[in-house]
Structure 1
Amino acid sequence: MPAVDFEDYRPLLLGLAYRMLGSMWDAEDVVQEAWLRWQGTDQSEIREPRAFLVTVVSRLALDQLRSARVKREAYTGPWLPEPVLTTEAGPLDTAELRDTVSYATLHMMERLSPPERAVFVLREAFELPYDEIAEIVGSSVANARQMHHRASARVAEGRDKFRPSSEDHVRLLVTFMEAAAGGDLGALTELFHEDVVAWNDGGGKVRAALRPIAGRDKVARFLAGLAARYDFTGARLVDVNGAPAIWTRVGRMNQLVVIDIRDGLIKGIYGMLNPDKLARVQPE
């Protein structure tokens, strides 16, 4: 059997671990641990290196996710996934790979139990058969099917069946940021879905709303209030998690703004202010 280069699999493994953990820092730790285990294994005995490495990374990520949930429950304010540049998100060859790395989907996956999240990612993004998934998560095949069904239903809640084009996404995002920077309540309200929710992640490092803000009027007033207190400057488009986002400064703070679109309107607004989570998406 020809020698297998672990580096050939690293992008795929990072993409898998990131989808399961919502943190590229943690994903890199998991993949590095997988590399150490790979080095300590008699590789000539491994018939399917990809399957072996996917199993190792999945189980390590599952263990990491279980411990991470405790930390996230004690997090200051809402915990949002760490955004990554689309070019660093691993292979995005299929619609399923792109969908499962989208920011809104990663956020929705926080609702799932660790085994449900693992099953969802392995089935949706990597199309593993249920018998392999069951072995990885330590369940029966029937239970793996049930977990996938439950997870799919929960992640699908409130999601738009039709993705806007990149051009439409950019247009709505730019219009939104212009209205927000100008504190234009009327213009903001027209852009929002009636069930719009805004999340802000400062992680206790910078000032940010400690609870999600829900409802068209409340979100518009919240943003107008920010515009009255701070200057929005240096707006730049960046491609994050497979979709356009805006990098901007709010007063002295850096912020990445990601939106989720439903029925042509903004359904979710994700404001990342925690500097620890912005390192990978800062424009050059």
Structure 2
Amino acid sequence: MKEFETLYNAYRPLLFSIAYRMLGSVTDAEDIVHDIFMQMERFDTNQMTDPKAYLTKMTTNRCLNFIKSARMRREIYTGPWLPEPQIKRSDQPLEKVVTDETVSYAFLVLLEQLSPVERTVFVLRETLEYDYSEIAGLIEKSEVNCRKIFSRAKRKLKDEASVRSENTERVDFLAKAFIHASTTGNFEEFISLLSEDVVLVSDGGGKVISALNPIVNKERVSAFLKGISAKGSFIGEIYPVIVNGQIGILQLKENRPSKVICFGLDSLQKDIRRIFMITNPDKLTHITAPL
């Protein structure tokens, strides 16, 4: 039992990081890691010569199998699919917020462009800094093949978003501007902070009313935000929170999470190029309110 607790404490954070980045789901990642350790509880840990490699391989294999079935479900998903956000409190100074281990939400969205194997290699190499030799052993491909897969994944993403959250002070300012706009109904200042080619993606999953297609360009995004505001979409309590390592917004209604909003910046890290609005209640159940 002591050996099991040691394994759990040592490797659970790593396994969760891998699973969450591969799946984009907090709840599914937690379930997979839980199941792995439930299995390990009945396993003789003394037989493992390299626990980290063994557990990582178990996690990646389970995630790869899960992704295949998840992609079939997403073909009939209502509207755009967005990852589940990781939420933390924002009641501490920004410089004290630890973002080193957190992949930005905008980058997590981009990972959806990759095939399951590309995503596995990219996550292990780019975000967790595994050696190609380690990755080759985990996914049972040659080291040369893994390098090619990584290069292909890199080309697909085209460096459109940073792996880590950047310019946190600017994002803090933008989030506060949105909070002011949503509570007063005056969106003019916030709209001025959008890039001309801004895209707003709303994920309601067919459970709540949301835009069924991404809303493209500044004028249309402005009209959409003003329209849903006039209909009472932002009525409730609105708080700044940490969403995947940078400031975002949590809305509560009747003390329950109803909306998470976060942003992706343009290449100059100045204006908002992406707005992500997660309203599917199934993707907010892991958030404890009030934070």
TM-score of the alignment, normalized to the shorter chain, above 0.5 = yes
Given candidates 135, 138, 144, the residue that maps to 1:136 is: 138
Query: Structure 2 CA distance, aligned partners of 1:25 and 1:161?
Result: 22
Query: Structure 2 CA distance, aligned partners of 1:268 and 1:58?
Result: 29
> Secondary structure in 1 aligned to 2:259?
strand
Q: Residues 248 and 123 from structure 1, CA distance in 2 versus in 1: closer, same or farther, beyond 3 angstroms? A: same
Identity %: 37
Q: Residues 49 and 270 from structure 1, CA distance in 2 versus in 1: closer, same or farther, beyond 3 angstroms? A: same
- Following superposition, the deviation at residue 235 of structure 1 comes to 1.1
- Following superposition, the deviation at residue 275 of structure 1 comes to 1.0
Which letter maps to 1:146? K
> Secondary structure in 2 aligned to 1:18?
helix
Given candidates 265, 269, 283, the residue that maps to 1:277 is: 283
Query: Structure 2 CA distance, aligned partners of 1:220 and 1:93?
Result: 33
1:187 aligns with 2:193: no
Q: Residue 274 of structure 2 aligns with which residue?
A: 268
1:48 aligns with 2:74: no
Q: Residues 238 and 133 from structure 1, CA distance in 2 versus in 1: closer, same or farther, beyond 3 angstroms? A: same
Q: Residue 65 of structure 2 aligns with which residue?
A: 63
Q: Residue 93 of structure 2 aligns with which residue?
A: none
Over residues 168-208 of structure 1, what are the superposed CA-to-partner deviations in whole Å (9 max), with x where a residue is unaligned?
21111111332355454643431111221111111111111
Query: Structure 2 CA distance, aligned partners of 1:163 and 1:68?
Result: 27
Which letter maps to 1:75? Y
Alignment of 1:73-84 (within 5 A): 73-84=75-86
Alignment of 1:156-171 (within 5 A): 156-159=158-161, 164-171=166-173
Query: Which stretch shows the higher mean deviation, 129-138 or 48-57?
Result: 129-138
Q: Residues 60 and 283 from structure 1, CA distance in 2 versus in 1: closer, same or farther, beyond 3 angstroms? A: same
Q: Residue 92 of structure 2 aligns with which residue?
A: none
> Secondary structure in 2 aligned to 1:187?
helix
Which letter maps to 1:270? F
Alignment of 1:1-284 (within 5 A): 3=3, 5-8=6-9, 9-86=11-88, 95=100, 97-98=101-102, 101-159=103-161, 164-184=166-186, 186-230=188-232, 232=234, 233-248=236-251, 254-262=258-266, 263=268, 264-284=270-290
Gaps of 5+ in 1: none
Which letter maps to 1:269? I
Q: Residues 161 and 48 from structure 1, CA distance in 2 versus in 1: closer, same or farther, beyond 3 angstroms? A: closer
> Secondary structure in 2 aligned to 1:110?
helix
Query: Structure 2 CA distance, aligned partners of 1:245 and 1:13?
Result: 25
Query: Which stretch shows the higher mean deviation, 252-261 or 52-61?
Result: 252-261
CA contact (8 A) 1:116 1:147 kept: yes
> Secondary structure in 2 aligned to 1:147?
helix
CA contact (8 A) 1:122 1:133 kept: yes
Query: Which stretch shows the higher mean deviation, 32-41 or 243-252?
Result: 243-252
CA contact (8 A) 1:206 1:274 kept: yes
CA contact (8 A) 1:201 1:273 kept: yes
CA contact (8 A) 1:205 1:274 kept: yes
- Following superposition, the deviation at residue 84 of structure 1 comes to 1.7
Which letter maps to 1:266? I
Query: Structure 1 CA distance, aligned partners of 2:123 and 2:250?
Result: 28
Paired residues, number: 276
Which letter maps to 1:159? A
CA contact (8 A) 1:202 1:274 kept: yes
CA contact (8 A) 1:196 1:215 kept: yes
Query: Structure 1 CA distance, aligned partners of 2:106 and 2:184?
Result: 26
Query: Structure 2 CA distance, aligned partners of 1:24 and 1:160?
Result: 21
Query: Which stretch shows the higher mean deviation, 16-25 or 158-167?
Result: 158-167
Query: Structure 1 CA distance, aligned partners of 2:195 and 2:253?
Result: 24
- Following superposition, the deviation at residue 111 of structure 1 comes to 0.6
